[in-house]
């Protein structure tokens, strides 16, 4: 079995990067994990830029921590219980565990830790490509994945993720970008205002695995049907925020699924996706040793991750949207961020 190419980068050394720019935004993406490294919003009045995507100093820093900041996670984003699932013939497949007994975000050497190849590039788009061999992290089949970032408008970034595999395999890929619309990463983002187009959410057990059917958000701290300040809802969210929200609308249709804003900054993001779920995570684990490219230490709750995807642990749940990719099929997930 061929071994995957795992990044081995020294301090200050970076994998190839690409810049995309419009009159309103400037974006820097990296071949390490097909990662969204930096997003700058330009002030139309004075031309000054504000960095709003949480970033780290260099690629060695990304590899030293396990926060997946900005990366494309795969083959399976989020958690798979006991790091195993039955294949389509009922045979149990064992994956590599990296959160106790749980398989998280593709395993200990997931796609976030690989140096992808830049296969195509223009002044408005860049495509990264990765081949994952049969047995990689325990998954069946040889997979080829592509992640294309493009500026589809002056204020809008699209990420299109596609994949094929020569054996049936569960696939669930997403962007793990963290946002702080004030650009003050040493301050909490919990006072941002969030709205999610979902009327149900998935409660989880102490291992953050969904432990029952979806529940209505009404009357809970997980109700973001209308814009709500995260810190105001938090006291009624007994498990904090690292949960999947069951989105309204048809899976496969690109539709608006959430809005994030920081009112006193006059900045907001509209989030679009073709997927069935949205994992909302208010960071609680950043620390002073984690520093941005400008040397700013991250506040523990300095970032908000909004990760469109299928539901966690869906290879083990027949009642969840199917994650299965079969030979001859193409997995496709489109995410768009519109900034104002």
Show me where the domains of the chain are located.
17-339
pLDDT-based confidence at 7, cuts 50/70/90? low
Residues 27-67 have pLDDT tens digits of 999 999 999 999 999 987 787 899 999 999 999 999 998 89
92 pLDDT above the threshold of 80: yes
**What is the CATH code of the structural domain delimited by 17-339?**
2.70.98.10
Q: Tell me which of 3-12, 149-158, 323-332 is least confident.
A: 3-12
How far is the C-alpha of 198 from the C-alpha of 215, rounded, in Å? Answer: 11
Q: What pLDDT is attached to residue 171? A: 98
307 pLDDT above the threshold of 80: yes
Q: What pLDDT is attached to residue 4? A: 52
- Provide the percentage of residues in the chain whose pLDDT is more than 70: 96
Q: What pLDDT is attached to residue 303? A: 97
97 pLDDT above the threshold of 50: yes
Q: Are 127 and 117 in contact (CB under 8 A)?
A: no
How far is the C-alpha of 93 from the C-alpha of 70, rounded, in Å? Answer: 29
How far is the C-alpha of 34 from the C-alpha of 53, rounded, in Å? Answer: 15
Q: Which residues are catalytic?
A: 176, 307
Q: What pLDDT is attached to residue 44? A: 79
Q: What pLDDT is attached to residue 13? A: 75
How far is the C-alpha of 186 from the C-alpha of 202, rounded, in Å? Answer: 30
Q: What pLDDT is attached to residue 275? A: 98
228 pLDDT above the threshold of 50: yes
pLDDT-based confidence at 292, cuts 50/70/90? very high
Q: What pLDDT is attached to residue 318? A: 95
Strand-pair partners of 103: 80
1 pLDDT above the threshold of 60: no
Residues 108-147 have pLDDT tens digits of 999 999 999 999 999 999 999 999 999 999 999 999 999 9
State the chain's mean pLDDT as an integer.
95
Smallest CA-to-CA distance from 117 within 139, 102, 132, 100 is with 132
162 pLDDT above the threshold of 70: yes
């Amino acid at each position: 079995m061929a071994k995957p190419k795992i990044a081995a980068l020294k301090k200050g050394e970076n994998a190839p990067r690409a810049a995309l720019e419009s009159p309103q935004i400037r974006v820097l993406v990296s071949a390490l994990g097909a990662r969204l490294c930096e997003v700058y919003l330009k002030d139309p009045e004075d031309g000054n830029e504000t960095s709003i995507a949480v970033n780290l100093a260099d690629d060695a820093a990304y590899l030293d921590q396990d926060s997946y900041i900005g990366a494309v996670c795969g083959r399976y984003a989020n958690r798979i219980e006991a790091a195993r699932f039955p294949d389509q013939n009922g045979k149990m497949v064992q994956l590599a565990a990296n959160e106790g007994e749980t398989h998280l975000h593709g395993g200990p050497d997931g796609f976030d830790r690989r140096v992808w190849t830049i296969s195509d590039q223009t002044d408005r788009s860049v495509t990264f490509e990765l081949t994952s061999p049969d047995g990689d992290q325990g998954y069946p089949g040889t997979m080829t994945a592509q992640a294309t970032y493009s500026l589809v408008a002056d204020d809008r970034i699209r990420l299109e993720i596609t994949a094929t595999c020569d054996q049936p395999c569960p696939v669930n890929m997403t962007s793990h970008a963290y946002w702080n619309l004030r650009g003050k990463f040493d301050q909490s983002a919990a006072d941002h205002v969030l709205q999610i187009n979902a009327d149900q959410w998935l409660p989880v057990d102490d291992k953050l695995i969904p432990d029952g059917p979806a529940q209505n958000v009404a009357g809970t701290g997980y109700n973001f049907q209308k814009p709500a300040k995260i810190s105001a809802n938090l006291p009624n969210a007994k498990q904090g925020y690292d949960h999947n929200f069951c989105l309204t609308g048809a899976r496969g249709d690109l539709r608006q699924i959430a809005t994030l804003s920081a009112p006193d900054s006059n900045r907001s993001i509209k989030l679009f996706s073709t997927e069935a779920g949205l994992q909302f995570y208010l960071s609680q684990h950043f620390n002073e040793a984690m520093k941005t490219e400008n040397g700013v230490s991250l506040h523990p709750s300095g970032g908000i991750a909004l990760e469109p995807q299928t539901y966690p642990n869906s290879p083990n749940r027949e009642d969840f949207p199917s994650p299965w990719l079969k030979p001859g099929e193409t997995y496709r997930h489109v995410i768009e961020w519109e900034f104002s």
